[in-house]
A and B are shown apart, each in its own frame.
Chain A
Amino acid sequence: MKQSKAGRIILEVVMFILSLAFLYPLVLTIINSFKSFKEVMTDVIALPQSLSFENYAYVWKFINYPRLFMNNAIITLLGLVGIILIASIAAYKLARTKSRASLIIYFICIMPMLIPFQSIMLTVLQMAKDFNLSDSTWGLGLLYWGFGAPLALFIYHGFVKGIPKEIDESATIDGASGFRLFFSVIFPLLKSVTTTIIIIDVMWIWNDFLLPLLMVNGSPATKTLTLAAYTFVGQYTSDWQYAMTAMVMAVLPSIIVFIFLQKYIVKGVVAGAVKG
């Protein structure tokens, strides 16, 4: 492809400026999180007069940030480990067993991908209340097992089919069977898909809003980061400086993780979409 050099340089510059404009809302958010109320009101786009972490100290204490972070971590981790465990062992067994029952179970498990969450949210909440799973981070984490399982099973199932059966057979001869065969021989072979599932599920559970809103919004002790930011902004609609601080604190963990794991995240998201 031949292209004039000048044209290319112009394109570079235009795209660069465009990307800065694209990220400008985030920049403004960060800038204003350092300002005082008066500064925000007089000029939003000006830089803060001094770099003060007063807002951060206030919001940190007010919403009890460490607690929220722990809640998010518990919910995400519990959900993720459960999804990976139940989906990978089931995918392995279902892909290896050629029977009508196996096929039926597989379809029962992946069909729910067509059910929008809003269609069942009320009855999910009621079921959770009946089983004492509501108002608890553990209960919420547990619910994610079911919600995340269909897609994970679908992705694992497609991958296991590509692993030669001879591997199972030689492991069986060596005396491994059942769980041991799966966890010592098969599961390590699933590493690349497991990474994909970790990435899409962590992004989803960490940022999820509606299910946590219904399940754990009742008490400050069980809230997630997004929920706390949501409630906080509701209470402080005019105190934008605190609201912006809360926003930054809510999104900072994701942005830091993204900066370090960018390549894997983009790859995982693409793989998840293409396979899903």
Chain B
Amino acid sequence: MLKLGRKRAEKLEFGIFTLPILISIIAVFYYPFIMTIRYSLTKWNGISKHPKFIGLDNFKQIFLGDTNFTNAAWFTVKYAILYIVLVNVIAILLALVLDMKLKTTAWLRAAFFIPYILSLVIVGFIWKFIFMQGFESLGESTGWGIFDLSWLGDPNLAFISILLVSIWQSVGFYMVIYIAGLQSVPDDLKEAATVDGAGPFRRFFSITLPLLAPSITISVFMALTNSIKVFDVILSLTGGGPGGTTYSVAYDIYRDTFQNNLYGYGTAKALILFVAVLIITVIQLTIFKRKEVEA
């Protein structure tokens, strides 16, 4: 009897400790996710009471004839690849320099990190001001042609601007991850390689880089998940312009759902984004985990 009572008490405690988190997570993730699947099979403008069931028509339409979505997907892929490569390369370079224990290291780390604590929407606005007003004055005082270009008005340059601003905002974050990674590379290993006659490049590629593998996995993973969902910075920097050339997938979903009131259609796109993120994440994690073991 006593044992049974204790077991029941333990079960009760287990329930009390885990129920709050379960309810919170089911409420904001699972329930909405199931509703998303439901809505994606309907045509609904959010005003009429009952969404109309139309089966897989939304998905057919998206894959067969939605140039907005194709363009946004293409934009996002290009952006994600360039962002992941550039932000990681720049961050590694900065980390290598900061790891050399310069006199200004503390200042440099703080300076490169600061933009990361700012909200992306605000960062977008600050740069919009710089591109639109600041560059004009800088062009006048320096005479450099680079400042006279239409950084937000030309589709190709607008793409580069979004990329640059995103990198500017987040490179400090990746930098500190790499600095932490470099600090775990033992000094005697580098010294031994120097004694063996390895030059700085050789040393970097055959010792430092392989030992940085865990940091690279984390950083690429973070850069990937963030860049696939890019939204805030585009909203405030270009607003999708010029001529609708800088819509990302997330922004396209936002436009369809909340600006065009295509609730069913928008959620269908949202579901496609989910599947894409899932597949890419799983592939990336398996590849990098394998590489890490080899190194």
Contact = CB atoms under 8 A, between A and B. Distances in A.
Contact of B177 (A82, A127, A230, A274): A274
Given A1-B190, A255-B114, A90 B21 contact: yes
Interface stretch (B12-20, B63-71, B155-163, B286-294): B12-20
A11 B96 CA distance: 12
Interface in B99-119: 100, 102-104, 107-119
Interface stretch (A20-28, A52-60, A63-71, A163-171): A20-28
A245 to B, nearest CB: 12
A118 B119 contact: no
Interface in A57-90: 82, 85-87, 89-90
Q: How large is the interface on B (under 10, 10 to 19, 20 to 34, 35 or more residues)?
A: 35 or more
B35 A123 contact: yes
A114 B281 contact: yes
Contacts of A124: 28, 32
- How big is the A interface, by class? 35 or more
B240 interface: no
A31 to B, nearest CB: 10
Nearest to A94: B18
Nearest to A45: B137
A120 B137 contact: no
Contact of B137 (A44, A122, A182): A44
Interface stretch (B81-89, B205-213, B265-273): B265-273
Q: DSSP class of B's interface residues: helix, strand, loop or mixed?
A: helix
A28 B18 contact: no
Given A251-B118, A270-B180, A274-B177, A127 B228 contact: no
A270 B70 CA distance: 36
- Max chain B CB contacts within 10 Å: which of A20, A101, A112, A119? A119
Which 10 pairs, one residue from A and one from B, show the smallest C-beta to C-beta distance? A146-B28, A123-B32, A207-B119, A93-B17, A146-B24, A112-B29, A19-B111, A123-B35, A44-B137, A119-B274
Given A28-B129, A120-B28, A273-B218, 19 more contacts: A8-B102, A19-B107, A25-B130, A90-B22, A94-B18, A114-B278, A115-B29, A118-B250, A119-B274, A126-B35, A146-B29, A153-B21, A178-B13, A230-B121, A233-B125, A258-B117, A273-B177, A273-B219, A274-B177
